[in-house]
Amino acid sequence: MQVMWVSTPEVYEKPIVQYGRLPTSLKHEEAGTYTTYNVGHFGFHGRIYKAVMKGLLPLKKYYYRVGDATTRTFSKIKYFNSPPLKTQQLE
């Protein structure tokens, strides 16, 4: 499952996502990547981050937060339900 977020103007040098099955136990952590954006005349600029949460069980509720590994600055904790397993198509 991929999560994406945007920051402007502050930046995260080492973006991460922390996640787990309980909001009090986000024991999994994955590093993220980013690209920069700049919207011309209006002066909007910042970064678009993405990180991939791995090893998720199907049809389970997961809690996560995104932020920076260096400053330990994080978003509020949010949640999602993981998708079902992909079924193999019969030919």
pLDDT along the chain (91 residues), means of 10: 85 93 97 86 82 96 96 95 77 56
pLDDT at 44: 73
Sign of CA dihedral 6, 10, 13, 18: negative
Which residues make Cβ contacts (< 8 Å) with residue 41, sequence separation at least 6? none
| Interstrand relation of 2-7 and 15-20 (parallel, antiparallel or unpaired) | unpaired
pLDDT at 86: 76
Query: Where are the domains positioned within the chain?
Result: 2-81
pLDDT at 90: 57
CATH of domain 2-81: 2.60.40.380
pLDDT at 89: 58
Q: Specify the pTM.
A: 0.84
